[in-house]
Amino acid sequence: MNVIRSEWTKFRSLRSSVYTALLTVAIAVGMGMLISSGQARGYLEATPEERASFDPTNLSLGACFYLAQLAIGVLGVLSVTSEYATGMIRTSLAFVPRRGMFLAAKAVVYGGAAFVLGQVAAFAAYFSGQAMLAEGGAPHTSLGDPFVLRAVAGTGLWLTGVALIGVALGVLLRATAGAFAVLVAVTLVLPLVAGLLPEWFGRWWPTMAGLSVTNVVPNPDLLGPWQGMGLYWSCVAALLGVALAVLRRRDV
């Protein structure tokens, strides 16, 4: 508990943590409204086939997994790289020589903070986005509709995983710029170019597989909601395991 309390103190003392939290929610709400408003106009001109695949819930959550994820990922990266940048990592590891406990405490504190923040961002994006869809005359949903609550809460759970990926990359690369560049590549760039890659890639790439939980309208090209989330979290856990192995082998 003392180790977790220490990590919580670090989290609260980082000014970047507050800014990142506010930025995550602001992006989720602002971009969610813009995306939903644009899609509402597009729905009125859509073909019957396009209307059949229209997923109001997923559209409102789009800002979370395209842009807000970067802000919450930075939270995880900075939890580690800020200590390397200031040299505080030596003090931290001297205070907590059991490196497994050190990394576990970071995962608990920053993962827990990301979970709360992710849920706030997801629900804020959902409600603001649905309001814009309704205002534009497009179909919209409520939390009581089938699978909607799963999609919204699942988005927050997915964002938690992104933060933990950031923690692992911070440990592996020890530099903010490098860790953030890799985070952007694996969570944003590769999914955006998935249409240019083999068809299996979009189905099995972990971050894309995890996002299947956000689909209310089934997508036959993706894994099932919980299959995809299971694959995603298995890979998050594996990456943290690699980070722990590397942390134990290094002097610092």
Give 62-91 pLDDT, tens digit per residue: 877 778 888 899 989 998 998 999 888 888
CA–CA distance, 160 with 167 (Å, rounded to integer): 11
Task: Give residue 183's pLDDT.
Answer: 95
Q: 126 pLDDT band (50/70/90 cuts)?
A: very high
Q: How far apart are the first and last CA of the chain?
A: 23
Residue 179: pLDDT band with limits 50, 70, 90: very high
Model confidence band, residue 108 (pLDDT cutoffs 50, 70, 90):
very high
What is the value of pTM for the model shown? Answer: 0.92
36, amino acid identity: S
pLDDT given for residue 9 in this prediction: 82
pLDDT in tens, 150-163: 999 999 999 999 99
Whether the predicted pLDDT of 185 surpasses 90: yes
Name the nearest CA neighbour of 206 among 241, 163, 235: 235
Q: Domain residues of the chain, as ranges?
A: 2-249
Confidence check: pLDDT of 252 > 90: no
Q: Tell me the average pLDDT of the chain.
A: 88
Cα 9 to Cα 19: distance, rounded to the nearest angstrom: 16
**Exposed, middle or buried by CB within 10 Å (0-12, 13-18, 19+), for 137?**
exposed
Question: DSSP letter at 189?
Answer: I
Q: Where are the alpha helices (DSSP H) in the chain?
A: 2-13, 15-44, 48-52, 56-63, 69-86, 88-95, 99-135, 148-173, 176-184, 190-192, 199-204, 206-210, 225-249
Exposure string of 37-76, with b = 16+ CB inside 10 Å and e = fewer, is bebbeebeeeeeeeeeebbbbbbbbbbbbbbbbbbbbbbb
More confident residue, 199 or 105: 105
CA dihedral of residues 151, 152, 158, 164 (deg, nearest 10):
-160
Radius of gyration of the chain (CA): 19
Residues making up the chain, counted from first to last: 252
